[in-house]
Chain A
């Protein structure tokens, strides 16, 4: 049985980010709630309109319950799905089907973290499993390093190719006022950067920032009459093939291959229809793997694809047009920020607005290349 999905019958009606960069003194829930209230206002709705909550927080396993309490809502449905940074794409899939079924009327999907101001390190309670932990890999970084090392061995990918991902992200960030890491960055800077877990250097790693994000989803008939341009959800799929990277049959192939193909099939689009892709770049190797697994270039060619300039400003496939997790923001889990950048590109109010964006893809990654989830957003013209 294939996927059935309510293509274009639900939409992002409002969105917001808050506190991207540094917000000392705020708790994660405060940042999240502020983004939520801004997203609700952006849609032209009010807090009592929200009847379903979807959230995954870095520091609160009961975040859905805490969020309902903080906002003072008694939701008809509360979802705390926790598949890492891809959670928010999964939240959208569930929200779309619940909205379309009439089970809920207005979904609020939110995330926020104060990890930069509150310690300055990735805030997670997740660790290596008991089979891997005795050998002391850095969690989660070394998992990505093992994938990158194998990709380099098998396909001739180079550290300069990895650097091309970081350089493209910085080029986009330099013209995005919200981006946290701006300024010149050279290939030499990347190649001489401090090594952490070979072949991953500090320049191959995403930022550690504060920040919050939220979106509001309704059925399309309501969204089209609200304050902002509605951004219909055309397809959404999540795939899980393993948890520990050690269990991957091939560490250079992720479940993005499945989630991307399914989401694009639901949307009725192929890679050539996609005007911009927002790919969860926790590490530079992610962008390369996802470009391959989503079908934007053949397996093994991702390094050469990014080194050609294809994903940078002026390239054939604008990727991570806000600067991504590498140079815009990465408050622990980036998925919702990828969704928001894709939606802004469709609405026409992105900082680095591209011309004529009708189809935008946002891809989320969770764990150690483990959980993969893809959403395809369209303009009203695609319905």
Chain B
């Protein structure tokens, strides 16, 4: 048996975002051994990666270092996580913005990031 966290990270390294679903339909993240609140068994499924920005904060740094941000992302299938949205500015990033997940493989470890979905 693989640890749920290790299983999640292995999938991420393959470019896949996994979530877990409880028998009552609720979606769980971060990965757990059992459903929070009930202890029920959980099932893995691959998330679409689609979501929207629930809240955000721009963190200031000493100039000339630019500000960076963190964002709370609500995934369409359920559950919320902290990440950031690439390619946005304080003027363009807003609560409610539609985003999609991608995995940045450029760093020491794979990192889940988001990019804005263009408005149709």
Q: Is the interface of B mostly helix, strand, loop or mixed?
A: strand
Contact between chains at A196 and B59 (CB < 8 Å): yes
Tell me whether A149 and B55 are in contact in the complex, defined as CB-CB below 8 angstroms, given that A135-B82, A135-B83, A135-B84 are known contacts: yes
Q: Which residue of B lies closest to A244 (CB)?
A: B82
Contact between chains at A198 and B55 (CB < 8 Å): no
Q: Which residue of B lies closest to A247 (CB)?
A: B80
Question: Which residues in chain B, 62-85, are within 8 Å of chain A measured between CB atoms?
Answer: 68, 70, 72, 80-84
Smallest beta-carbon distance B77→chain A, Å: 16
Tell me whether A137 and B70 are in contact in the complex, defined as CB-CB below 8 angstroms, given that A131-B30, A197-B59, A198-B58 are known contacts: yes
A: number of interface residues (CB 8 Å):
25
B102 lies within 8 A of chain A by Cβ: no
Contact between chains at A198 and B57 (CB < 8 Å): yes
Q: Is the interface of A mostly helix, strand, loop or mixed?
A: mixed
Tell me the bound Cα distance from A142 to B60 in angstroms: 11
Tell me the bound Cα distance from A98 to B104 in angstroms: 54
Contact between chains at B82 and A132 (CB < 8 Å): yes
Contact between chains at B70 and A142 (CB < 8 Å): yes
Smallest beta-carbon distance A151→chain B, Å: 9
Tell me the bound Cα distance from A142 to B83 in angstroms: 13
Contact between chains at B84 and A251 (CB < 8 Å): no
Contact between chains at B59 and A138 (CB < 8 Å): yes
Contacts of A194 in B (CB 8 A): 60
Q: Which residue of A lies closest to B5 (CB)?
A: A130
Of A153, A196, A199, A251, most B-chain CB atoms within 10 Å: A153
Tell me the bound Cα distance from A27 to B59 in angstroms: 33
Contacts of A195 in B (CB 8 A): 58, 60
Tell me whether A149 and B95 are in contact in the complex, defined as CB-CB below 8 angstroms, given that A136-B70, A137-B59 are known contacts: yes
B111 lies within 8 A of chain A by Cβ: yes
Residues of A within 8 A of B (CB): 131-132, 134-138, 142, 145-147, 149-150, 153, 194-200, 244, 246-247, 251
Contact between chains at A146 and B59 (CB < 8 Å): no
B44 lies within 8 A of chain A by Cβ: no
Contacts of B22 in A (CB 8 A): none
Q: Which residue of B lies closest to A198 (CB)?
A: B58
Contacts of A199 in B (CB 8 A): 57
Contact between chains at B81 and A197 (CB < 8 Å): no
8 closest cross-chain pairs (CB), A and B: A145-B57, A150-B55, A198-B58, A146-B55, A132-B82, A153-B95, A197-B59, A197-B57
Q: Which residue of A lies closest to B60 (CB)?
A: A195
Can you list 30 contacts pairing A with B, beta carbon distance less than 8 Å?
Answer: A131-B30, A131-B82, A132-B82, A135-B84, A136-B59, A136-B68, A136-B70, A137-B57, A142-B59, A145-B57, A146-B56, A146-B57, A146-B70, A146-B72, A149-B55, A149-B57, A149-B95, A150-B55, A150-B95, A153-B55, A194-B60, A195-B58, A195-B60, A197-B59, A198-B56, A246-B72, A246-B80, A246-B81, A246-B82, A251-B72
Contacts of A146 in B (CB 8 A): 55-57, 70, 72
